[in-house]
Structure formats: structure tokens, C-alpha cells
Amino acid sequence: TVATCMTTLKKSMSEDYAVSCLVVGTESGEIFMLDPEAFTILETMSLCGGGSDSSPLVPAQVAATGLYDVEYRVVTACRDGSVCLVRRGWKEAKVLAQLSAQVVDMIVQSDNANIVLATMDQSLHCYSKK
């Protein structure tokens, strides 16, 4: 399958020099967590659309917060404007929002759980955990 986006997620410590897992979004609508030492797949999560056809969502942007060994969140912005969340232990993503335009860039603030999205229609969308 073809990789569409990537980021990193600290494995067990949050220090700058700590080992990180590679998080890869794919054309087939999956998110893979790769082991930093053996480069084997640790986790596979699906970005299924959840609609009547259940076609996979293709991630265009991905951001990860937390620690792989403790608790983490992976937020994806998909080509169709969907914003999805996957947490530790989940095999399938949940759609947080459906935007009317594609996401240009995304910031996930781990300290206060905010998600800020810039879209192609010249808008900023801000989402909070609360």
C-alpha cells in the first residue's frame, strides 16, 4: 500500500532524545504504528468511513500525541474533509468532524487537547475536548 502521510510518536519517554515510533497513514485507509527498532507493525487501525458503503477514508495529514506505551491519540485529516480520532486500544477511528473543505494544515495541542485546522476555503476550525 502507498503511504500518504507520516509523523512520529514517542514510545515510552517524552524527552527529546527518546525513541519514537513511526506513524504512517496509507492510501488504503489504515494507520500503521511501526516499531522503532525492528520496523515491524505494532498496531494497525482502520479509518473506515462509517457510512452505508463503509469505504475507507484516506488520510492527508496525521498528528500524534502521548506515549505509545502509556496512552496516545492519533488525529487524521482525510481527503474528503473528515477529521478522525484513534486512541490506544481502538481498532477503528471515530469521525470527530466532517468539514466542507479539505484540510491544508493541522495542529494538535497535547497540553489542552485542542485541534486547530486550516482549510482550503480560507477558514480556521478549532475543536476542544470540552
Domain parsing of the chain, residue ranges: 3-127
Per-chain mean pLDDT for the chain: 89
**What's the rounded Cα separation, in Å, for the pair 115 and 124?**
10
Query: What percentage of the chain reaches a pLDDT higher than 90?
Result: 71
Contact yes or no for 99/83 (Cβ under 8 A): yes
pTM for the model: 0.88
The DSSP bridge pattern shows strands 123-127 and 114-119 to be antiparallel
Q: What is the pLDDT of residue 16?
A: 85
Return left, alpha or beta for 81; rule: phi > 0 is left, psi -120 to 50 is alpha, else beta: left
What is the pLDDT, as a whole number, of residue 48? 74
Which stretches of the chain score pLDDT less than 50?
Answer: none
Q: What is the pLDDT of residue 77?
A: 94
Terminal CA-to-CA distance of the chain, rounded, Å?
A: 36
Which residue type is seen at 11? K
Q: 3-127: which CATH number, 2.60.40.3080, 1.20.1090.10, 3.40.50.720, 2.130.10.10? A: 2.130.10.10
Gap between the Cα atoms of 25 and 5, Å rounded? 5
Distance CA 2, CA 29 (A): 10
pLDDT at 129: 74
The pLDDT value given to residue 50? 54
pLDDT of amino acid 110 = 74
